[in-house]
Amino acid sequence: MNDYRGIFADGLWNNNVVFAQMLALCPLMAVTTTATNGLGMGLATTGVLLAANVVIASLRQFIVDQVRIPVFVLLIASLVTLADMAINAWLHELYKVLGLFIPLIVVNCCVLGRAESFASKQPVAASAADGLAMGLGLTLALVMIGGCREVLGSATLFAHASLLLGDSFAFLETTLIQDYKGFLLMLLPPGGFLVLGFLLAGKRGMERVMEKKGVKEEFHCSVP
């Protein structure tokens, strides 16, 4: 598939990792207590996805079919270790927040899923585009869910964004309601499931409206 527009539409909306494939839910529930954490986790996973797709697509001729899964896992684990060390070295504040979950990108099903269903069958350039698109789709989902939970749970948005993006992005940090009492449930895992459920329902609703309006939509479904 060399249709890059289709690849990006798939990754961001039609076949979004979270909103369509329902993968990567474990890091989703664990880290999305703020939009900033979601953004950091999303970007880290995007990096890993991009690198993993490129490496696996370029080695796909040499990987024997029977042992492909262990080889994929090995490659992904090496890349995640690199990402883990890089974040620890250059974004140490973020690492303190996300630390536990960065190594777990290894077992994030969306990375292995893309390797298996896309990168192992497609040329390098298309795989790179797919990795980027899927990663950005995941980032979008993580930021949206993190943002909803943060607004409802503590009435802030992008708190501590300067730790992730540098001081120039400190303007993103907003407090919506002063001395908000806090809605603890939203910061606990049930809040993550609730927000995910309502966003999923919202996406389905939007798609239904778009269909009714006659917008031609192609629904791709590649279940990894």
Partner 1 sequence: MNINPVAGAPHAHDGDSVSRLMGLVLLALLPAVLYGVVLFGWPAVNLLIVTLIVCLLCEAGCLWLAGRSVRLGLMDGTALLTGVLLALSLPPWAPWWIGAVGGGFAIIVGKQVFGGTGQNVFNPAMLARVMLLVSFPVEMTTWLEPHPWLSGSAPGFLEGLLITFGHSEIADGVTGATILGYARTELVMNHALSQILPEHYHTGFAAIGWTGGSLGETSAILVLMGGLWLLWRKAITWYIPVAMLGAVLVLASGFHWLNAERFADPVLHVLSGGLMLGAFFIATDPVTSPVSRGGQIVFGIGCGALVYIIRTWGGYPEGVAFAVVLMNAATPLVDHYLRPRAYGRTWSGQSRPISERAKHAAMGRDAGSGSR
Residues that bind partner 1 (CB under 8 A): 181, 183-186, 188, 194, 197
CB of 184 to partner 1, least distance (A): 5
Instruction: Between 1 and 194, name the residue whose CB sits nearer to partner 1.
Output: 194
Cα–Cα dist 94/159, whole Å: 12
Residues across the chain = 224
Tracing tokens 């993550």 back to the chain, one arrives at: 192
CB of 26 to partner 1, least distance (A): 22
Q: Is 213 exposed, middle or buried (0-12, 13-18, 19+ CB in 10 A)?
A: exposed
CB of 111 to partner 1, least distance (A): 31
Residues 6+ away with beta carbon under 8 Å from 100: 30
* Amino acid identity at 134: M
Are 36 and 96 in contact by the 8 Å Cβ rule? The answer is no
CB of 168 to partner 1, least distance (A): 35
Instruction: Between 3 and 211, name the residue whose CB sits nearer to partner 1.
Output: 211
* Amino acid identity at 3: D
- Using CA of residue 143, residue 147, residue 148, residue 154, what is the dihedral sign? positive
Instruction: Between 123 and 205, name the residue whose CB sits nearer to partner 1.
Output: 205
Instruction: Between 25 and 152, name the residue whose CB sits nearer to partner 1.
Output: 152
Instruction: Between 99 and 197, name the residue whose CB sits nearer to partner 1.
Output: 197
CB of 47 to partner 1, least distance (A): 36
Cα–Cα dist 216/113, whole Å: 28
What are phi and psi for residue 140, nearest 5 degrees? -55, -45
CB of 183 to partner 1, least distance (A): 5
Instruction: Between 129 and 187, name the residue whose CB sits nearer to partner 1.
Output: 187
Residues 6+ away with beta carbon under 8 Å from 182: 153, 154, 155
